[in-house]
Every structure is written in C-alpha cells, then in structure tokens.
Structure 1
Amino acid sequence: MRNLRPAFGILGLLLLGGCGGGSGAEEDVAADPTGVVVVPAPAPTPTPTPAPAAPTPVGPNTMVLGAATAFGQQAWDFSILQTARSIGVMAVRDGVAWTEIEKTPGVYQFTSPGSKWMETVINNGFPVTLLFDDTNPLYDGGKTPHTDQGRAAYAKYIVATLDRFPKIKTIEIGNEYNAFNFVSGPVRDEGYGARQRYYFETLKTVYRAVKASHPDVKILGGAGMAIPVGYFKPLFGMGALDYMDGIVVHPYTTDPEQLAKQLGVLRAAMGAAAKPIHVTEFAQELDSIPDTANYLVKSIAVMASAGVAEADWYALRQQGGPSNIWYKNVALASFAGDLLPPGQAFKVMSQQVLAKGAGRRIAVDDFTYAYQFGQNAMVVWGEPRSLSVKVPARFYNAQGLEIAAPAAIEQRSPIIIVSDQPLAYGQNVSFGDIRLVADSYDQFDFTNSLSGETRFEGPWSYFSYAVRRQAYDMAYTQGGGEISSSDWMPYIGIDWLRPFNINANTVGPVDYNTGGSPDAYKAVLRYTSPHEGRFDIQAVWDVVETSDDGIDLQVQVNAQTVFATTVARHYDMNLKNLSIKQGDIVSVVVGPNKNAIGTDTTKYRIKIYRTS
C-alpha cells in the first residue's frame, strides 16, 4: 500500500485525539420532557466589549474561507482569534470530545475547556463548523458507534450540543472515515463494505434526529480523506446523499492543478443529487515556507473558482511546542499569534482576492492557470511566458508580499494581481507566446468511462500493454478508494488490473509474475498530435527508491520506436527535432523492467515543444 497521507500523518484531526483534562465543576442536571437528562445552559462567558462579526463572503458564489483550530484539544490562548479576524478568517472548524460531554448516560455537561471554547469563539463572531468524530466508553465498548444503541446515543449527544449552542449551524459527521486513524472496532476491521453500511446508518440516524429539532443546521457527510470517489459511490447507492446537506473531502493528496478535475469526477458521481462540496481541511507539509504559500494561494484560487462552498486551512496556529513544532511550515500564525508567511498569503487571498467577488478560470490555454475574481483581482501561474498588465495594479507574491510588476509568470509561484480598475484578459491583461504544445500534467484527462459514455476529450489517452498477450487495453477513470490499498483520489486505471495506475504525475506499471513467469502490464501514455512540424520531447522521470530494478522506457511514433532505455532512479529525457504530422500518435511506454519488486511507481512529466 502506498503512503497515501502526506507527512501530516494523522493531521486530519488531531483535534480529538487527546481531549483529556479536567471537566471543571459538575453542573446540576434537569430532566428533559423527552426523557433525556440534560444540563441547563450555564451563563455565557462574559466578553468585555461586543466583538465585530467575522468577515463574510461577497457574492452568491464566493467560497467561505476558514481555518481549522484546536481549541477542543489544546489550551490555546483565545487572543489567536484576533489574529484570525485580522487575516480574514471567515469561519472556524474545530471539534468536541464526546467523553468530556457525556460521562453518565444521558447527562450532558459543557464545563470542560474542551467544550467551553465554543462559547468564546461564537461570542467573537465566528461561525463554527463543528466536527463530531469520537467514541464513548459508555457505548459500543468505546469503539466507533456501530450498533443501533450506539448510533442513537451519538445522535442524542449531538442534539444536546446543538441545544446548548444554538448558534452552531454547520456540523460534520465523522472524520476521514475511509482512513484508519479515526475509526475503531468493527467499523475499522470489517472491510470497506461494512464500513460504508455503518457510516450510512450513523449518518441517517444523526440526520433524522438533528433535523427534527434543528432543521436549520447544515449536516455535512461523507467524511472523506482525500477525494475518494470510488469509496463514496456505494454510499451514494445506499442513499447517503439524502441525509447530508454537503459532502466533505480533505484533498491532501491532490495538487492544486488537478483539484478542479478531481472535484468534477466527484460531482459527476453524485449526479442530479449533487451536494455542495466542503473542504474542511486542506494543507500540505512541504519543505519550505514559500512552497507552502504557493500551495495555499493556488488551492484557494482553484477551489473558489470550482464552486467549493467552504475551505478550511489546517491550521490557524502552530501546534506542539517550540522545540517540536508539528506539521512544519503550515501554520498561519506562530504560537504567540504572530503572522507567518502562509498567514500573510491567506490574508491577501481573503481580503483582496475573494473579497472582489466570485472566481472563475479564464480560458487562456491548457498550460496557463489564470483565475479572475470579480472584475478587480486575478491569480495567475503556469508555463513561463511574458505577462503584460496595462492598468495600474498592485502585485503580490504567494507569501503576500507586494512586489514590482513581474515581466513573466512561472509554474511554481503564482502571482496575485489587484487593481482598482477592471482587469480584462485579452484587453489590458495579456500573455506572451510559448513553444509548448503538449504537457502530460496540465492536460491530464479524467473523462474516459468504462461504460463508453464519455471518451478522453483532450490529446492524451491511456492504456495498459499486456506483454504476455501483446495487446492493449484502454484504461479509464477510477474514482479512487474502491479498496483501501488503491489511490484515495480519482486516477486512470482498469478494474481488474489494480494496482496498475496512471495519475497526472505518477505512473505505476505492474508485473504479477505468475508462477515465476513475468506477467507484465506496461503503462502507455498516448498523445495524438493536433499539430504538424518538428518538435522536441522533454521528460523527467523519478523512480521510487524501493524499486528493485527500475523501469523500462520507450518512446514510439506511430508504433515505430524512436527511443528506448532503462531508468533506475532519476532521468532527464530530451529527444530533439522529431518530425510529427497532424494525427500522428506519440506513445510513451513505461514498463516494470525485469521485475516489480519494491513497486515501480514513477514520478514523471512529459512536455512537447515546437522547435524554435
């Protein structure tokens, strides 16, 4: 199984992993008319002065940009909320621990720091997306709820919490339920089919209980680590979409450039019953702060333009301790609440980009990522080319620092453009020409279906080549997460050939080595040229370090091999001055070499340039 989680490990929510601590004084309890024993609401936590409301999105399609906090887990200083307000955090996403609220069956207490934080956050004007993902030793042996009794108790605890905090209007049922860090007992151990049934029954029970007394509360379901469309499909088939107001994904494993495409696969799977998509965690733990900031700016631009309803950065403040900071380079603010570069980038995106209005991608070409917000802001990056802006404007890099007007865009670092005058692509904003005509990453295509209802739309298509049969099989879109060992996001593959896969930036040939005899299936990336002329093909290959003997690599033009080699680790490929006609087929074939010991997963990127 691949390491599907980034270096965050269980970052998804450590919020609930250790919500211990004292519960404070016991409160008197009163009998509810329904027979459930509840506690009366304590007096609200006093606030010295009325707090201003948190920022709200502008325009009907503008995404709510929030931040995940850990008030439910750690004793954070509430002064961090002032930092949150100053950078334009529109909502807070956090969780509560069931064990701190219900210590006696049917008795609900809200006296511990792990639950009282909600009062302070709400009084400071922040909407809360509240996660309920927990267990309680009073029910189902302390494991993830899996019986009718356990589910009913879970639902009553949620309703009691909403009764106590009526200003909470969005709740999240379960956290990364398809993964293995936040489920236990039969839910974890009985396989995906059982897990999906358990989750469906829990979601339905909670939905009915909450809507009966709090019909205005938005219930978010799905609880997906990554974008596991294949895992979701059985849930959809059971009718889970009828019991949620939005669906949750945590796209840690997806690059920003591929995010809109993968969300499109999710929407297609939901069909006519599609629900709004809520990204209640997003971040990547990268090697440098500039890389983290680049990811943040790109992701916000893409999600806001792709119709995501809510996106919450993980996390608002540094966690751990000064000598052991968890999740390096991802926090928006330091332990002391001082703004870090990702936080500065967040501030510019919230207050100067999203505030301009709803986003949309500008149709430049496949190799340029240009997003416009309202009339007065743009975020751009892509294949290096000149940039011209002919109106007065302010320019920012991805760390939120104002910079001089750049002469060109680049792939790695996005540029933020803000102007008091309308920005119009093709009029006062323009890009220079480029020689690039094809890119396996920018043009990666998810549109082929097993049913044949859709076919690859762009110039790239994908196949497996069975060495033993000497035959090609067309690959097609896999939702991801169909089984726990598959990629937990959409990819190209074949149902009967797992773990064979092709992604935008990785390729995985296989060899089943049946009875000691090779049974290899090579991955074929096929480019059908809409152009004619002479071209250079450049590619970068990086084979996983665990591979025993690397990959074999071929380039063919109309089935004629023009290049062949083996690659052990890293290889830069550069084929010069190839003659290619319109309609010619360029095939890049990646095999497992002599064996697939250690797996042969390989990072790659192929670019085709018109010769100068």
Structure 2
Amino acid sequence: MLITVGVLASFAVAPGQSAASVRVVVGVASVSTQYAGADFIGEAQQIRAVGAKAIRIPAKWNLIQPSTSGNFSWARLDSAVNAARSSGLSILMNLEGPAPVWAQKPGANPFANGNAPADPAAFGRFAHQVALRYASRVAAWEIWNEPNLSHYLIPPTAGEYVPLLRSAFNGIRTAGGNQPIVTGGLSSLRTETRDTTFIADLYSLGAKDYFDGIGVHPYTLPYPITADPRGGDGGGAAVLPTGRATMVTNGDAAKSMWITEFGQPTGNTPASTSEIAQSRIIIDAVNRANGLAWIAAIFIFTSRDLSTNPADDNSNFGLYRFDGSPKPVADALRGQLS
C-alpha cells in the first residue's frame, strides 16, 4: 500500500523557509526520550532555531511497555511530542526496540539492546497503541532502528525484521495511522548485514506492501557524503544509488528513500573532525539530498552533544555543544534553511 498524500505534504513548511529552494524535509534526529529529565522544550526550540522543520523522536518499546499489565509509560514520549508540536516541528516517530523482557525470546540475554520479541504480533500491538495515541500529531512512522546490526536486532537479518515490519504496519493502519511508514534506517557499517543486501532481501521476502519508503543511515565518517574513499563503491553512501536501483527494479520508483540519520562528530578521534569541517560535511549532505527528487527527508544526528569528552565519537554529533552553545553548523543550517 503506497501512501500518495505527499510525503512532503505531511511536513508543513516552516515559517520563513523557502519551499522552492529547499525541497527535501530537513529534520534533526533526537535521542532525548532515552534519558530521564531531558529538556524537550529546549531541544525543540534549538532545532527550530537552525531552520529545521521536523524531529525524529524514538518511541522505545522497552521503556514504554515494561510489563504486560496493560499500563503504558507515556509521560516521557508525551513530553517530547508536545514540545515538538508546540514548537512547530513535524514528527517522524521511530518505533524501536529492544523488546521488553516479558516479550523477549526464551533464553535471551535480558540486557541485550538488540532483543527481538518472541512473537512479532506483540510489537504490532504496541505499534497499534502508539498510533492510537499519537497518529493525529505524527507526520510519518519509522519501524525499528538499524535492524541490520545486532546491537539493534538479533539476528540482524531481513528475515527477522520483516515480520516486525508487517506487524507494525498493520497495527498502525488499523489504529487509523495513515501517514507514510518507513523501514528502519539501515546502518552503513559493513560489519554485519550490508545495507544494500538488506534492501534486496526486503523485496525478496515480499515486504514491499508494508512500507512507503526505505530508511537509510549513510554515514561516511569523517568524509563528505560523496567523498568516502573506502570500499571502492561509494563507501557508506553506496546505499543511496544501489538501494535506489533495487527499489526501481522492484517497481517502487514512486516511493522515496529517507535519510533518517546522517551526521558527523567533532572531536579528536579518527572518525571525528573539526567543527568547521562538520559544518561543511552536513551542509553538503543537505544540498545533495535536496538535489535528488527520490530522497524525501534528511535528519541530522543529533541536536546536542552528550558530553564534553572529545574522544567519544557517539557523544559529539551535536549541532550544539554540551553546554548548549551552537557549533558553526547551527548557523550554517540557519542560513541554508531560512
């Protein structure tokens, strides 16, 4: 089922933004719902301040439905959604794991972040409840996160993922959620299931009826998105032309690819760059995504650094520093998007 109400129409153009010059939806991928005490209003305002018009909000299953009692812990997600909407941001809601302990497979390590449910239908019921609560305030849905890595899905295969996708798709649709549904953004790491292979496997397993777009995370650290020298085939961004070709071959030319994460950490590691280089890399990626009509959106990871440690890549992807001050990329985005 292909949703034809325009993917872009689901995201209102932000005040002061020129839709003629910036076709692609530019958003920021948040991680704040994973942390107690997060400043959702402050984050939403920072995201709007750079000219972005959308936010990717994680709805983590294990945090929202920790028991089978029928009680859901909505407070944190409610706060994030309310802050986003009150700040004028459209929402890509990412339904992701791990499965809560009660839903895990027998013998699973209860602390593993990649735990899948024993019964995919349980995830579908969760998706149904999320859609009942938030469908009127969500512009699009993303199902799971980086399912081609065991850190997020065990095992990291399309065979494990497709039943989750199908169940979530049906759960959202039966709850009245008619917005676009996007597959979980695929990691560009080549340590496990390759992103391009995963996309081909989605089609071979008959998944095309259960998504309206394909999510990708074409990280090219520490290089620009079209200048990754590794791999001989475009590096981390190879999934864009190769994945697109697979979509077209399988009759899905009318569907879009969604870059649900792209970013560049600052710091002093081999994968990081200076703040000025970060700015150039991100602005270049936005411009190149904007030039490809089959890319619907690009979400920059993430809003704010998680620490002041320059040796920790994962903590330094922010558009803003840990103290809330803007990096050069924040001003550069503002100039590009407003």
- If the TM-score is normalised by the length of the shorter chain, which range does it land in? 0.7 to 0.9
**Contact kept in structure 2, 1:72 and 1:115, CA below 8 Å:** no
Residue of structure 2 aligned with 1:151, choices 120, 123, 130: 120
Deviations 1:106-154 (A, max 9, x none): 614244435532222223221111111111111124563354xx31111
Distance in 1 separating the partners of 2:182 and 2:18: 20
Aligned twin of 1:70: 31
Relative to structure 1, the CA distance from residue 76 to residue 54 in structure 2 (aligned partners, 3 Å threshold; closer, same or farther) is farther
Question: Shift in Å at residue 160 of structure 1?
Answer: 0.9
Distance in 2 separating the partners of 1:205 and 1:104: 20
Matches within 5 A, 1:398-413: none
Q: Which amino acid aligns with 2:252?
A: A
**Contact kept in structure 2, 1:87 and 1:347, CA below 8 Å:** yes
2:281 is equivalent to residue 295 of structure 1? yes
Aligned twin of 2:336: 349
Aligned twin of 2:230: none
Distance in 2 separating the partners of 1:106 and 1:229: 40
Deviations 1:523-560 (A, max 9, x none): xxxxxxxxxxxxxxxxxxxxxxxxxxxxxxxxxxxxxx
Question: Shift in Å at residue 103 of structure 1?
Answer: 3.2
Aligned twin of 1:172: 142
Deviations 1:441-483 (A, max 9, x none): xxxxxxxxxxxxxxxxxxxxxxxxxxxxxxxxxxxxxxxxxxx
- CA RMSD across the alignment: 2.8
Q: Which amino acid aligns with 1:182?
A: Y
Tell me the secondary structure at the aligned position of residue 176 of structure 1: coil
Relative to structure 1, the CA distance from residue 231 to residue 57 in structure 2 (aligned partners, 3 Å threshold; closer, same or farther) is farther
Distance in 1 separating the partners of 2:308 and 2:38: 12
Residue of structure 1 aligned with 2:178, choices 212, 216, 235: 216
Aligned twin of 1:267: 244
Q: Which amino acid aligns with 1:277?
A: M
Relative to structure 1, the CA distance from residue 154 to residue 64 in structure 2 (aligned partners, 3 Å threshold; closer, same or farther) is same
Q: Which amino acid aligns with 1:121?
A: A
Aligned twin of 1:278: 258
Matches within 5 A, 1:566-577: none
Aligned twin of 1:414: none
Relative to structure 1, the CA distance from residue 144 to residue 61 in structure 2 (aligned partners, 3 Å threshold; closer, same or farther) is same
**Contact kept in structure 2, 1:71 and 1:114, CA below 8 Å:** no
Aligned twin of 2:196: 229
Deviations 1:184-224 (A, max 9, x none): 3xx25xxxxxx221211111121122112224222111531
Distance in 1 separating the partners of 2:310 and 2:75: 28
Aligned twin of 2:213: 246
**Contact kept in structure 2, 1:100 and 1:114, CA below 8 Å:** no
Distance in 1 separating the partners of 2:50 and 2:34: 23
Question: Shift in Å at residue 178 of structure 1?
Answer: 0.8
Residue of structure 2 aligned with 1:163, choices 132, 139, 144: 132
2:171 is equivalent to residue 202 of structure 1? no
Tell me the secondary structure at the aligned position of residue 96 of structure 1: strand
Distance in 2 separating the partners of 1:315 and 1:180: 22
Aligned twin of 2:320: 333
Q: Which amino acid aligns with 1:284?
A: Q
Deviations 1:144-195 (A, max 9, x none): 3354xx31111111221121123113111111111222123xx25xxxxxx2
Matches within 5 A, 1:139-538: 139-141=103-105, 144-147=115-118, 150-165=119-134, 166-184=136-154, 187-188=155-156, 195-226=157-188, 228-253=195-220, 255-257=224-226, 262-271=239-248, 272-274=251-253, 275-285=255-265, 286-307=272-293, 308-321=295-308, 327=314, 330-351=317-338
The alignment's TM-score, normalised by the length of structure 1, stands at 0.44
Q: Which amino acid aligns with 1:62?
A: R
Relative to structure 1, the CA distance from residue 97 to residue 328 in structure 2 (aligned partners, 3 Å threshold; closer, same or farther) is closer
Relative to structure 1, the CA distance from residue 238 to residue 289 in structure 2 (aligned partners, 3 Å threshold; closer, same or farther) is same
Tell me the secondary structure at the aligned position of residue 130 of structure 1: strand
Relative to structure 1, the CA distance from residue 220 to residue 108 in structure 2 (aligned partners, 3 Å threshold; closer, same or farther) is farther
**In the comparison of the two structures, how many residue pairs are matched?**
290
2:88 is equivalent to residue 118 of structure 1? no
Distance in 1 separating the partners of 2:158 and 2:21: 34
Aligned twin of 1:84: 47
**Contact kept in structure 2, 1:296 and 1:345, CA below 8 Å:** no
Higher strand share: 1
Distance in 1 separating the partners of 2:124 and 2:149: 22
**Contact kept in structure 1, 2:131 and 2:177, CA below 8 Å:** no
Q: Which amino acid aligns with 1:65?
A: V
The alignment's TM-score, normalised by the length of structure 2, stands at 0.77
**Contact kept in structure 1, 2:27 and 2:52, CA below 8 Å:** yes
Aligned twin of 2:102: 138
**Contact kept in structure 1, 2:90 and 2:138, CA below 8 Å:** yes
Question: Shift in Å at residue 340 of structure 1?
Answer: 1.2
Residue of structure 2 aligned with 1:97, choices 54, 60, 66: 60
Relative to structure 1, the CA distance from residue 234 to residue 316 in structure 2 (aligned partners, 3 Å threshold; closer, same or farther) is same
Bigger Rg over Cα:
1
Relative to structure 1, the CA distance from residue 57 to residue 202 in structure 2 (aligned partners, 3 Å threshold; closer, same or farther) is farther
Q: Which amino acid aligns with 2:55?
A: V
Distance in 2 separating the partners of 1:53 and 1:303: 17
Q: Which structure 2 segments of 5+ residues have no match?
A: 1-11, 189-193, 228-233, 266-271
Q: Which amino acid aligns with 2:141?
A: I
Relative to structure 1, the CA distance from residue 57 to residue 157 in structure 2 (aligned partners, 3 Å threshold; closer, same or farther) is farther
**Contact kept in structure 2, 1:145 and 1:154, CA below 8 Å:** no
**Contact kept in structure 1, 2:279 and 2:332, CA below 8 Å:** yes
Q: Which amino acid aligns with 1:201?
A: P
Q: Which runs of 4+ in 1 moved over 6 A?
A: 322-325
Question: Shift in Å at residue 309 of structure 1?
Answer: 0.7
Higher helix share: 2
Question: Shift in Å at residue 63 of structure 1?
Answer: 0.3
Deviations 1:72-125 (A, max 9, x none): 123332223222212101101121222332233261424443553222222322
